[in-house]
Chains A and B, each alone.
Chain A
Amino acid sequence: MSDVFLPSAEMAYSSPDAQGFFGPYGGTFVPETVIPALTELDAAFREALDDPDFTGEFGSLLQDYVGRPTPLYRADRLAETVGLGRIYLKREDLNHTGAHKINNTLGQCLLARRMGKKRVIAETGAGQHGVATATAAALMGLECAVFMGTEDIRRQSLNVYKMRLLGAEVVPVAEGSGTLADAVTGALRHWVERVGDTFYVLGSAVGPHPYPVMVREFQKVIGEETLVQLQGRAERVPDAVIACVGGGSNAIGMFYPFLRDLPAGKRPLLVGAEAAGLGVETDRHGAALTKGLPGVLHGFYSYLLQDEAGNPLEAYSISAGLDYPGVGPEHSYLKDEGLVRYEAVTDAEALAAFAMLTETEGIIPAIESSHALALLPRLAPELGADGVVVVNVSGRGDKDMDIVREAGLGGE
Chain B
Amino acid sequence: MASEGAAARGLGRGFPADRAALVIYLMAGYPDRATSLAALHAAARGGADVIELGVPYGNPLADGPTIAEAATVAREGGFGLGESIALAAEFLAEAGPDAPPVALMTYLNPLMRMGPARAAAAMREAGVAGVIVPDMPPEAARPWLAASGGIDTVFLAAPTSTPERLATVGSASAGFVYCVSTTGVTGERTGLSAELGGLVESVRAHTTLPVAVGFGVSGPEQAAAVAGIADGVVVGSAVVRRQDDPFAVEAFVELLAGAVRSARS
Contact = CB atoms under 8 A, between A and B. Distances in A.
Pair from one complex: yes
Interface of A: 19, 27-37, 175-176, 181, 185, 188-189, 192-196, 293-299, 304, 306-312
13 contacts: A32-B157, A32-B165, A33-B158, A175-B68, A181-B59, A185-B59, A189-B185, A192-B62, A192-B184, A306-B113, A311-B57, A311-B75, A311-B80
Q: Which of B108, B139, B160 has the most CB of A within 10 A?
A: B160
B61 interface: yes
Contacts of B156: 31-32
B80 A309 contact: yes
Nearest to B184: A193
Contacts of B108: 29, 296
A35 to B, nearest CB: 6
Given A32-B156, A295-B113, A308-B113, A195 B137 contact: no
A312 B185 contact: no
B188 to A, nearest CB: 15
A37 B159 CA distance: 12
Given A32-B156, A32-B157, A310 B183 contact: no
A35 B165 contact: yes
Contacts of B185: 189, 192-193
A163 B165 CA distance: 38
A28 B155 CA distance: 15
A309 to B, nearest CB: 3
A28 B137 CA distance: 8
Nearest to B182: A193
B112 A31 contact: no
Contacts of B109: 295-297, 304, 306, 310-312
A31 B61 contact: yes
Contacts of B184: 33, 192-193
A304 B59 CA distance: 13
Nearest to B113: A310
Q: Which of A32, A298, A304, A309 has the most CB of B within 10 A?
A: A32
A295 to B, nearest CB: 5
Contacts of B82: 309
Contacts of B157: 32
A34 B160 CA distance: 7
A33 B109 CA distance: 19
